[in-house]
């Protein structure tokens, strides 16, 4: 639930996420969801793909926080 509102940056590159199938990457690029919750409701998106996506988003957010504090 907490991840439902997790924002996806406008310039997010879904194709840069290793571990997503080409089909899922195409769906994410086509829809361009703005939140994790919206991405999770795209037809054909698997729980494994959502786990990979949330992990990548959280790593990216943590890296951005570290970059801002440096």
Closest by CA position to 17, among listed 57, 67, 61, 48: 57
Kindly tell me if the per-residue pLDDT of 1 is higher than 70.
no
Q: Identify the CA nearest to 39 among candidates 18, 61, 65, 51.
A: 51
Query: Is residue 70 very low, low, confident or very high in pLDDT (cuts 50, 70, 90)?
Result: low
pTM: 0.83
pLDDT tens column, 9-54:
998 999 999 899 999 999 999 999 999 999 999 999 999 999 999 9
The sign of the torsion formed by the CA atoms of 47, 50, 54, 59 equals: positive
DSSP state of 21: -
Q: Which residue has the tokens 């996506």?
A: 53
């Amino acid at each position: 639930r907490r991840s439902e509102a997790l924002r996806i940056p406008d310039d997010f590159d879904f194709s840069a996420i290793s571990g997503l199938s080409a089909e899922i990457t195409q769906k994410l690029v086509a829809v361009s969801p703005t939140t994790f919750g919206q991405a999770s409701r795209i037809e054909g998106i698997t729980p494994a793909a959502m786990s990979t996506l949330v992990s990548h988003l959280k790593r990216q957010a943590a890296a951005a926080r570290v970059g801002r504090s440096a």
